[in-house]
Amino acid sequence: MLHVDMDSFYASGAERDDPSLKGKAVVVGAGVRGVVLSANYLARTFGIHAAMPVGRAQRLAPHAIFITPEHARYGEISEHIMEIFRSYTPHVEPISLDEAFLDVTGSRRLLGTGRQIATAIRAKVEEQEGITCSVGIAPSKFIAKLASSRCKPNGMLEIPTDRILNFLHPLPVSAIWGVGAKTNEALERLGLRTVADVANTPRATLI
């Protein structure tokens, strides 16, 4: 399984359409009362992140360039990207405009290993769409998604079966897909701060 995730998709799309934005802090979000849809990695160094109120983001980085979202344009770029994915495998499961799972099991005989396929996809997305993506490669969707989040931006991380536990156990419990803020707090109150802590706790205790 591959999990392919665009890097700061909306901000990257804006930079692609307006090259003068390259090298500048770019934030996509409308109105002082609106929320940040995306911030490029330079803007994030000032503490700006998605879902933050635009007014707060403007106070953190008044010099940043704030751009009104163009949803139709993002949808168009997303469709181009999904077409690239489908050229490597028919088994594409979009999660949102900017990320998808790809089952490349049946593609390996013709196209090479998962890593080779991921490398080709990353190169084609950058060449054709002018934006970068990060790819997690693993035996399952869950591990592939965790892997992609650990190699951003513009990276690739493969977790083979015999390395899954070594990869998972040091991670904070908040890294587990589905563990939100409240569950994280509950686990930490029990002293369960890493995946290893949870794995080493009896099932009955967890229940």
- Preceding peptide of 153 cis, ω within 30°: yes
Type of residue at 59: R
Nearest Cα residue to 115 out of 160, 165, 84: 160
93 is catalytic: no
| CA atoms of 4 and 18, how far apart (whole Å) | 24
Q: Tell me which of 99, 127, 158, 185 is the catalytic residue.
A: 99
DSSP 140: S
> Residues 90-103, buried b or exposed e (16+ Cβ, 10 A)?
eebeeeebbbbbbe
Which amino acids are annotated catalytic? 99
